[in-house]
């Protein structure tokens, strides 16, 4: 029973991370119809950037964090202004799989390459923000970093929910996703929302990278794995539904922990992927795969 409890805690913690990346992917997909496959790379840049500024350059930790987040935001802004503007708002508007997948895919490669140039190929992590031994409640153990991740997930996830549900900006966002032409006609600047959410999700991803990295440690290549899980969880949430993406992320995290604990530590992931593939094939429509991306 205790094993189950601890696995559940571990599962929910990783699940919360997946869920947050999935939410980032699906919220931006709603606005832009582009899948952000670089979301994990922003997380990686956040973690490695803070580590570099704090440990190597010797900046105070809060300054290092703020600087890193500012750089991420600035980079995301410039990328949107230069690349996405030409791709989506240019004279011949591109659509279909090229835009949906391949621009952010190229971005992911680019960021990884830059990270390799700046930070090298070793495993690093941002310093733990909350130091100390793991907390215990009976025989249940809580990693402090894990609790921090959960706290961030609740706060940021909650803020997102409130924003989408209760503010005019959130409504406009929803409208941009449903029908961007229609939204423009009623006076919503869909491009501004695309930029806002892109920069916002990049910063959120970087924050999660910083908070999470003490648990796992990152290299310049870690981004792809994170993007992949975020993409998968978003996919199981039908891409347009952040709420379902969040649940899917938690589900995948818990399932992964349970398979690792009860089935096989070595083949847990293999079984997990097989189960996920089977789910897609069995209920594509119910999971929201059909009509999610056209062309």
Residues binding another protein (CB under 8 A):
83, 86-87, 94, 96-99, 102-103, 105-114, 116-117, 221, 224, 228, 232, 235, 239, 266-267, 269-270, 273-274, 276-277, 280-281, 284, 287, 289-290, 292-295
Shortest Cβ 120–another protein spacing (Å) = 12
Q: Output the 3-class SS for 118-168.
A: HHCCCCECCCCCCCCCCEEECCEEECHHHHHHHHHHHHHHHHHHHHHHHCH
Which one, 47 or 234, has the nearer CB to another protein? 234
Burial (CB < 10 A; 0-12, 13-18, 19+), residue 163, is middle
Question: What Cα–Cα distance (Å) separates residue 166 from each residue in 88, 180, 204, 234, 287?
Answer: 29, 20, 20, 23, 26
CB closer to another protein, 178 vs 269 = 269
The CB-of-246 to another protein minimum distance in angstroms stands at 18
Pairwise CA distance, residues 88 & 92, whole Å = 8
- Smallest gap from residue 273 Cβ to another protein (A): 4
Structure token pair of residue 117: 């140039």
Beta bridge partners of 141: 136
The nearer residue to another protein, 62 or 295, going by C-beta atoms, is 295
Q: How far is the CB of 83 from another protein (least distance, A)?
A: 6
Closer Cβ to another protein, 42 or 103, answer by number = 103
Nearer to another protein, 116 or 165 (CB): 116
Closest separation between CB of residue 234 and another protein, Å?
10
CA distance 175 to 185: 11
Residue closer to another protein (CB basis): 150 or 259: 259
Shortest Å distance, C-beta 85 to another protein: 10
| Measured torsion, CA atoms of residues 6, 8, 13, 15, in degrees rounded to the nearest 10 | 150
């Amino acid at each position: 029973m205790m094993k189950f409890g601890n696995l559940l805690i571990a599962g929910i913690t990783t699940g919360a991370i997946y869920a947050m990346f999935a939410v980032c992917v699906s919220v931006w997909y709603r606005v832009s119809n582009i899948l952000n496959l670089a979301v994990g790379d922003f997380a990686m840049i956040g973690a490695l950037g803070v580590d570099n500024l704090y440990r190597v350059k010797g900046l105070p930790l809060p300054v290092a964090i703020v600087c890193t987040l500012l750089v991420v935001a600035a980079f995301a802004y410039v990328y949107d202004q230069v690349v996405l503007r030409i791709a989506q708002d240019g004279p011949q508007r591109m659509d279909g799989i090229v835009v949906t997948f391949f621009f952010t895919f190229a971005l992911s490669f680019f960021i990884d390459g830059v990270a390799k140039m700046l930070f090298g190929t070793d495993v690093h992590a941002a310093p733990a923000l909350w130091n100390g031994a793991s907390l215990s409640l009976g025989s249940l153990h809580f990693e402090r970093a894990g609790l921090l991740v959960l706290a961030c997930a609740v706060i940021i996830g909650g803020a997102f929910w409130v924003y989408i549900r209760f503010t005019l900006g959130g409504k406009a966002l929803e409208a941009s996703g449903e029908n961007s032409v229609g939204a423009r006609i009623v006076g919503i600047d869909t491009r501004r929302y695309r930029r806002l959410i892109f920069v916002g999700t990049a910063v959120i991803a970087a924050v999660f990278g910083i908070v999470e990295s003490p648990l796992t440690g990152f290299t310049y290549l870690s981004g792809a794995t994170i993007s992949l899980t975020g993409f998968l969880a978003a996919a199981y949430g039908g891409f347009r539904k952040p709420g379902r993406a969040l649940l899917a992320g938690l589900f995948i995290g818990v399932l992964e922990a349970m398979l690792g604990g009860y089935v096989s530590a070595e083949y847990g992931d293999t079984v997990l992927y097989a189960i996920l593939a089977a789910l897609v094939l069995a209920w594509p429509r119910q999971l929201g795969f059909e009509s999610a991306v056209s062309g």
